[in-house]
A and B are shown apart, each in its own frame.
Chain A
Amino acid sequence: MADIITTKDPSIEVLPNLDSTAQLLDVRDLHVEFRTQAGVAHAVRGVNLTLNPGETLAVLGESGCGKSVTAQAIMGILDTPPGYVTKGEVLYRGVDLLKLSERERRRVRGNRIAMIFQDALSALNPVFSVGFQLAEQFRVHRGLSRAEARKRAIEQLDLVKIPAARQRINDYPHQFSGGMRQRVMIAMALALDPEILIADEPTTALDVTVQAQIMRLLAELQAERNMGLILITHDMGVVADVADRISVMYAGRVVEEAPVHDIYSRPAHPYTKALLESIPRVDLKGQELKVIKGLPPNLMAIPPGCAFSPRCPMAQDECRRDPLPPNYEVEPGRHSACHFWRDVVRD
Chain B
Amino acid sequence: MSRYIARRLLQMVATFIGTTFIVYALMFAYTNDPLQALAGERPVTEAQRRVMTERYHLDEPFLVQYGYYMKGLVTGDFGQSLTGREISEMLATAWPVTAKLALLAICFVIIFGVSGGVVAGLRRGGFFDTASLGLTLIFISVPIIVIAPLAQYLFGVKWHLFPITTGANPSFHALLLPAMVLGALSLATNMRLTRTSVAENLRADYVRTARAKGLSRRRVVGIHVVRNSMIPVVTSIGVDLGTLMGGAIVTEGVFNIPGVGFNLLRGIRTEDGPVVVGFVSVLVMVYLITSLVVDLLYAVLDPRIRYE
Binding site for B on A (CB under 8 A): 75, 77, 106-111, 114-115, 117, 119, 122-129, 136-137, 140-141, 172, 174, 185, 188
Complex CA gap A126/B211 in Å reads: 16
Which of chain A's residues have a CB closer than 8 A to the CB of B212? 75, 77, 109-110, 114-115, 117
Which of chain B's residues have a CB closer than 8 A to the CB of A119? 205
CB A120 to nearest CB in B, in angstroms, measures 9
Binding site for A on B (CB under 8 A): 204-206, 208-216, 219, 224, 227-228, 231, 301-304
CB B211 to nearest CB in A, in angstroms, measures 5
Complex CA gap A136/B224 in Å reads: 11
Which of chain A's residues have a CB closer than 8 A to the CB of B304? 126, 172, 174
Given A127-B227, A127-B231, A128-B227, also A122-B205 (CB < 8 A): yes
Residue pairs across A and B with Cβ atoms less than 8 A apart, 27 shown, are: A77-B211, A106-B216, A107-B214, A108-B214, A109-B214, A110-B213, A114-B213, A117-B205, A117-B208, A117-B212, A119-B205, A123-B205, A123-B209, A125-B206, A125-B209, A125-B224, A126-B206, A127-B231, A127-B303, A128-B227, A136-B215, A140-B214, A140-B219, A141-B214, A172-B304, A174-B304, A188-B213
Given A110-B215, A111-B214, A126-B304, also A77-B208 (CB < 8 A): yes
For B213, B216, B302, which residue has the most chain A Cβ atoms within 10 angstroms? B213
Other A-B contacts than A124-B209, A129-B303, A174-B304, 8 sampled, CB-CB below 8 A, are A109-B214, A110-B212, A117-B205, A125-B206, A127-B227, A127-B228, A140-B213, A140-B215
Cβ of A127 and Cβ of B214 under 8 Å apart? no
Which of chain B's residues have a CB closer than 8 A to the CB of A174? 303-304
Complex CA gap A62/B206 in Å reads: 24
Given A117-B208, A172-B304, also A125-B215 (CB < 8 A): no
Cβ of A126 and Cβ of B214 under 8 Å apart? no
Which of chain A's residues have a CB closer than 8 A to the CB of B219? 140
Complex CA gap A114/B303 in Å reads: 27
Which of chain B's residues have a CB closer than 8 A to the CB of A124? 206, 209
CB A250 to nearest CB in B, in angstroms, measures 25
Cβ of B213 and Cβ of A127 under 8 Å apart? no
List the 9 shortest-distance A-B pairs measured between CB atoms, nearest first.
A110-B214, A109-B214, A110-B213, A122-B205, A125-B206, A115-B212, A172-B303, A77-B211, A123-B209
Tell me the nearest residue of chain A to B210, going by C-beta.
A125
CB B200 to nearest CB in A, in angstroms, measures 12
Partner of B214, one of A106, A122, A125: A106
CB B217 to nearest CB in A, in angstroms, measures 9
Which of chain A's residues have a CB closer than 8 A to the CB of B206? 122-126
Which of chain A's residues have a CB closer than 8 A to the CB of B301? 127
Complex CA gap A136/B216 in Å reads: 12
Cβ of A122 and Cβ of B204 under 8 Å apart? yes
Complex CA gap A106/B217 in Å reads: 10
Complex CA gap A291/B224 in Å reads: 43
Complex CA gap A120/B206 in Å reads: 9
CB A149 to nearest CB in B, in angstroms, measures 13
Which of chain A's residues have a CB closer than 8 A to the CB of B214? 106-111, 140-141
Cβ of A127 and Cβ of B302 under 8 Å apart? yes
Cβ of A126 and Cβ of B208 under 8 Å apart? no
Complex CA gap A161/B265 in Å reads: 67
Tell me the nearest residue of chain B to A125, going by C-beta.
B206
Which of chain B's residues have a CB closer than 8 A to the CB of A106? 214-216
Given A110-B214, A140-B214, A172-B304, also A123-B228 (CB < 8 A): no
Which of chain A's residues have a CB closer than 8 A to the CB of B303? 126-127, 129, 172, 174
Tell me the nearest residue of chain A to B230, going by C-beta.
A127
Tell me the nearest residue of chain A to B224, going by C-beta.
A125
Which of chain B's residues have a CB closer than 8 A to the CB of A111? 214
Which of chain A's residues have a CB closer than 8 A to the CB of B228? 125-127
Tell me the nearest residue of chain B to A114, going by C-beta.
B212
Complex CA gap A173/B79 in Å reads: 54
Tell me the nearest residue of chain B to A103, going by C-beta.
B216
For A123, A125, A126, A140, which residue has the most chain B Cβ atoms within 10 angstroms? A125
Which of chain A's residues have a CB closer than 8 A to the CB of B216? 106
Which of chain A's residues have a CB closer than 8 A to the CB of B210? 125
Complex CA gap A140/B216 in Å reads: 9
Complex CA gap A119/B219 in Å reads: 23
Which of chain A's residues have a CB closer than 8 A to the CB of B213? 109-110, 114, 136-137, 140, 188
CB B266 to nearest CB in A, in angstroms, measures 46
Complex CA gap A137/B304 in Å reads: 23
Which of chain B's residues have a CB closer than 8 A to the CB of A77? 208, 211-212
Which of chain A's residues have a CB closer than 8 A to the CB of B209? 117, 123-125, 185
Complex CA gap A138/B214 in Å reads: 11
CB B234 to nearest CB in A, in angstroms, measures 12
Complex CA gap A174/B305 in Å reads: 10
Which of chain A's residues have a CB closer than 8 A to the CB of B227? 125, 127-128
Tell me the nearest residue of chain B to A115, going by C-beta.
B212
Tell me the nearest residue of chain A to B215, going by C-beta.
A140
Complex CA gap A125/B303 in Å reads: 11
Complex CA gap A283/B211 in Å reads: 46
Tell me the nearest residue of chain B to A137, going by C-beta.
B213
Complex CA gap A119/B206 in Å reads: 10
Tell me the nearest residue of chain A to B302, going by C-beta.
A127
CB A151 to nearest CB in B, in angstroms, measures 19
Complex CA gap A260/B212 in Å reads: 28
